[in-house]
A and B are shown apart, each in its own frame.
Chain A
Amino acid sequence: AQSVTQLDSQVPVFEEAPVELRCNYSSSVSVYLFWYVQYPNQGLQLLLKYLSGSTLVKGINGFEAEFNKSQTSFHLRKPSVHISDTAEYFCAAIAGGTSYGKLTFGQGTILTVHP
């Protein structure tokens, strides 16, 4: 079964600093990867996705992620964070086969941006 591991449960950072949120997935013949963000008391919103093609994907709000097949990683990065980026971030995967379409989520990383 597909599994997703987010290596940091909490990441504190100062405003305008760069940030990286780490995500590893279990290897699969075919895998599709997503990052979702959840602001306090709100639903999940898609930041970006990797389906195929270029391994560097750009998303909304200045975020980007790089798919690394050899390291089975899909880390999320932003070069300069804002206070408004404070939220919980979830890495998720869809594996091929019978699980096709079902999202498997990591445990989430709480990003806190300090002034």
Chain B
Amino acid sequence: GAGVSQSPSNKVTEKGKDVELRCDPISGHTALYWYRQSLGQGLEFLIYFQGNSAPDKSGLPSDRFSAERTGGSVSTLTIQRTQQEDSAVYLCASSLGWGPYEQYFGPGTRLTVT
């Protein structure tokens, strides 16, 4: 079946612009996660959703970052007023539920802020 998909695969934006990153999880997966992978910080957790609610936003690095999930499916990560330190690969994952389930990862969106 179809895996987790993310779009766009690459995004180049100018400093100060807003960007939206999209994630389509595996059908039937109720939990969805956003992670960020960068050279300096490694892989770090940003936010997770159970259904449409986000009980844990602890990993969002600043209030410029926000995310939503609609219909228990597609999620959008929005970064406002992008900064150069936001450059990274943003990974989305989904799982059957919240807990020690296998998380299936998408290919990521590579964001470059110039």
Binding site for B on A (CB under 8 A): 32, 34, 36, 42-46, 49, 51, 90, 92, 94, 98-108
Question: Whose C-beta in chain B lies nearest to the C-beta of A31?
Answer: B100
CB-CB under 8 A for A102 and B42, given A32-B100, A43-B91: no
Chain A residue, CB-CB nearest to B44: A105
Instruction: Beyond the given A43-B107, A49-B100, A102-B56, please list 5 additional residue pairs across the A-B interface where CB-CB is below 8 A.
Output: A43-B4, A46-B104, A94-B99, A101-B33, A104-B45
- In angstroms, how far is the closest chain A Cβ from the Cβ of B69? 15
- Can you give 16 contacting A-B residue pairs, CB < 8 Å? A32-B100, A34-B102, A42-B107, A43-B91, A43-B105, A44-B91, A44-B93, A46-B104, A100-B98, A102-B45, A102-B56, A104-B45, A105-B44, A106-B42, A107-B42, A108-B42
